[in-house]
Structure 1
Amino acid sequence: MRMLYDSEYEKLTNEVFRKNDVNNFCLLTEGKGENIKESIIDAHWHEWLELIYVIEGGMQLEYPSGTMQVNAGEVALIGVQTLHKIVGSPGKFSFICLHVNFGLIIQYLNPSLFVDQTIKIQKTANFIMLIERVNQLLNSNDAVSTIRLKSSILEILANSIEELELTQLETNNQTEDLIDEFSKIIFYIGEYYRENITLGHLSEKFGYTAQYLSALFKKRTGINFHTYLTGFRLEKVKFLLLNSDKTLLEIAIDSGFSSEHSLINNFKKVFEMTPTEYRSVMKEKKA
């Protein structure tokens, strides 16, 4: 698994600017320059929802089900856990890339709605307006700007769901037909991650053997079921650490960990610091 939302554009040798949201709602990257030849960002995926607004030039997105050319004035949506490769066209380019925090998404909806989704936005003007507003609001850190920033991002999420529905209608498919067996399982995890979900539970629920599901997770995500579920829960933990005053025990319960001890151990294993240390470090940056 390659979760590259914070290093995705490091290979670009031109001017690339990142705006880190101190509230951890999003990450915004602005790029501008000139490619002497094709600029390639290798195939990868990440947990955060990605929106790319091409201002000048063009790029091609490559993903398992096809390719998509995104030109100046267009916006593309790349869903969570969506494998994709980005090929920037030769010549001058300018873009804004917005990543929306997975932890914020799961506060309001099931993130599985965005799994394996790559579409070109149809109502472009509205998205461009919202992305530019987010870009502007990230320059301020007062209470009013923070509220407006969160509101704008939530509006982007709502509009993204509407765009996915439009795409489904145009292909004349029913929603159920668009969800494969693995997506149904991922959707279920998104709904019930707070509960004691095991491979045995999933195998009974969906009618597959635990061995089959284990192999399916490895094939589709590159990691095993336990690592996926733990990572899902930890994204919720990170968001709650930064956006609530809840105790570690309360956060453990809200995110599906069996105990505060389990939460601390898993967090430290992945992020090499305790949840308390993480909260302290991030609050210092925010101050």
Structure 2
Amino acid sequence: MAIYLEMPELDKDFPFRTLINDGNILTTPHWHREVELIYVTKGTISLGIDDIPYKLSEGEIAFISSGLIHYVLASPGSERLVYQFDLSYFASLNKENLDLQKLFSELVPVSLYWKQQQEEIIRQLLESIQLEMDTQQTGYQFVVKAAIFQLISLLIRDIPKQTKQPKKMNKLATKDVLEKLDEIFRYVEDYYQEDITLRNIADVSGYSTFYFTKFFKRNTGKTFLTFLNDYRIDKAKWLLINSDYSVSEIITRTGFESDKTFYRLFKKSMDIAPLEYRNRMKID
């Protein structure tokens, strides 16, 4: 898995999967085009969705819309079920022409703020899906698909909407574009602490610098330099929340050329200073 872009290998005929994650598994910041639900079945977990940290306990649920950056901290003693599915599978039955991605992006992402009855119904659906996936009795895919359709309708109809809309990737691209972006993001992940030039990254993509510049801007909504700086800022935010490194150490570890550049970009991104961000966002 690339840390910035995850591309789950889902069955093209039924693009859905479930995972059981032990609490010791730490999931670093990433995004994917698939919708995801996280159901805490044991203990307590700490996670972040769109730069907002949450703490969820046994029985609580998180919903993550397509394209949102999210992470889960190591939470020893806990367990969580993860459900991922691609909305494109349901497009042929969307006769009302609902914009599912938009509708899902507006939902309150954690069940802490849902009505208890809504949380309970969705919890039961998720448990029934997992049971069918575990036992795989005859006809289990019919049961799972039916449950997912019911889940989608419940999310659309019953889950409260946010007043503030989350930040999203500019465009959920096609598979070929995602694969090329994944290649680029993997390179950035490996070398973001070093000096990455436009020529370097264009060579990695196999494009000329001119074509790469157009390709990247068209498919991410930002220039590569802006993306690289945003990526380094995201890494810095991760370290501020999850380490005791000094700000100077974090600047060095995230590849910024100077303290001045880092502070300017961080303030522009978060509208607060790094230490204030650490104090406000860190989950003990």
Normalising by structure 1, we get a TM-score of 0.49
Quick check: which one's strand share is greater? 1
